[in-house]
Amino acid sequence: MSLATLLPGAIKPEDNIMARSIRNPGKIFGAALFAACLLLNVVVSLPAQASTTRIKDIVDIEGSRDNLLVGYGLVVGLNGSGDGLNNSPFTEQSLIAMLERLGVNIRGQNLNTGNVAAVMVTATLPPFANQGSRIDVVASALGDAKSLQGGTLLVTSLLGADGEVYAVAQGSINISGFSVEGEAATLTKNIPTSGRIPEGAIVEREIPFDMNDFSNLRLALKNPDFTTARRIARAINGFLSTSVATAENSTSVKLSRPQGYKGTIVDLITDIEQLPVEPDQVARIVIDERSGVIVMGSDVRISTVAIAQGNLTVKITETPQVSQPNPFSEQGQTVVVPRTDIQVNQGQDVHLGVLDTGVTLQDLVTGLNKLGVSPRDTISILQAIKAAGALQADIQTL
């Protein structure tokens, strides 16, 4: 490939390269060296860019956090799918109290409506939420309601952990499922007893938090790791050309405002949150034994180990037969004769497999697949390898 192809802007195609090299060989050599360095820089930088992550994606600002809200309310307008008042006394009491506040006295009356349901309303108040802004809420049935489809949540106060009201919710409930039933069949899709109200709550109280009053703050790592914390501190110090960030431990990085910095602490966060950092992580295998899901990190390694897996399967099939006497026979009776077929599979076709030292995640998965191991058996094998001391990774069971 010619230099004109590598650097069309440095050497024009119409130039006579041979003649130029005779007149000025140093210039051609300089162009070639520049082209080689450029290609080397591109090749080296591609993997680094592919493995880096912005600081804003791997840390949280300490103090800037969500707050959980909860409330109790009533959903009305249900098409007979609400709570049974006889089975849900709290729904009846709430309905009576609500009507009394509206000037309707029904105490002592026999209520028999199926269009009302008691619900728990939950929401998350994001940091720096201003008074008057809206947030999403989720309503979940508390009694024996069959569905919240078509229901409307009445005014519900949402409380924080301190017992103060921070938002008020009301609106039509959107559900992603349904439930229908007939005389002999019932069809239910998803969970019809829980729904969402987009922007269904209005923030009534703000949580005071002025970051500009801080001279320093902490960056909390979402995935704690000592190496990642030190890399974040080095990236910040290198960008600001001063030592203002310190890795305190595997979870937090302390950041101080540089002397002479003209911006606010918000400006400082904006400047550093786009810096690329290559996060590190502990080799870990996450196992959910209830669903059989296995997730393995890329740094999982194992030592040399031999694996054999075989299952004992016993299959019993009952095929009873009916024995009847001959037609017009004066003796004999109809009986059921049992017929049992037993098949035993001891896994004779399963062989011993060897996994070499330092195999990667792909090698481990390939080896287990060659053994014909199911996800359920893989869980047992990984735990056995860990017990043998040949697995260099943590196993986390959910």
The per-residue pLDDT for range 185-227, each reduced to its tens digit, is 777 777 889 999 999 999 999 888 777 777 788 899 998 899 9
pTM over 0.85: no
Look at strands 394-397 and 284-288 and give their pairing: parallel
Beta-strand runs (E) in 204-355: 216-221, 245-247, 252-256, 276-277, 284-288, 293-296, 301-302, 305-307, 313-318, 321-323, 335-337, 340-345, 353-355
Higher pLDDT, 90 or 183: 90
Structure tokens, 44: 């080296």
Per residue in 45-97, pLDDT tens?
434 444 788 999 999 988 788 899 999 999 999 988 889 888 888 988 898 88
Q: What is the mean pLDDT of residues 280-294?
A: 80
Model confidence pLDDT, tens digit, residues 363-387: 666 766 766 677 777 777 778 878 8
Structure token pair of residue 275: 């810096």
Of 266, 261, 203, nearest in space to 69 by CA: 203
- Range with the poorest average pLDDT among 75-79, 293-297, 357-361: 357-361
- Residue 212's Cβ-count burial label (10 Å; 0-12, 13-18, 19+) is exposed
Share above pLDDT 90 across residues of the chain, in percent, rounded to a whole number: 29
Q: Give the pLDDT confidence score for residue 116 in this predicted structure.
A: 93
pLDDT (0 to 100) of residue 249: 92
**Closest by Cα among 234, 233, 209, 239 to 221:** 233
The answer on pLDDT for 341 being more than 90 is no
Q: Please tell me the predicted confidence (pLDDT) of residue 201.
A: 96
- Supply 226's token pair: 């000592």
pLDDT by residue (tens digit) across 98-154?
888 888 888 877 788 889 999 999 999 998 899 999 999 999 999 899 889 899 999
The pLDDT score that the predictor gives to residue 18 is 37
* 3 state SS of 57: helix
Amino acid at position 138, single letter: V
What is the DSSP-derived secondary structure letter of residue 297?
-
The topology (CATH level 3) of 215-277 is Alpha-Beta Plaits (3.30.70)
| Cβ contact 364:300 at 8 Å | yes
The mean pLDDT of 15-25, rounded to a whole number, is: 42
Task: Kindly state the tokens that stand for 115.
Answer: 């269009």
pLDDT band at 342 (very low <50, low <70, confident <90, very high): low
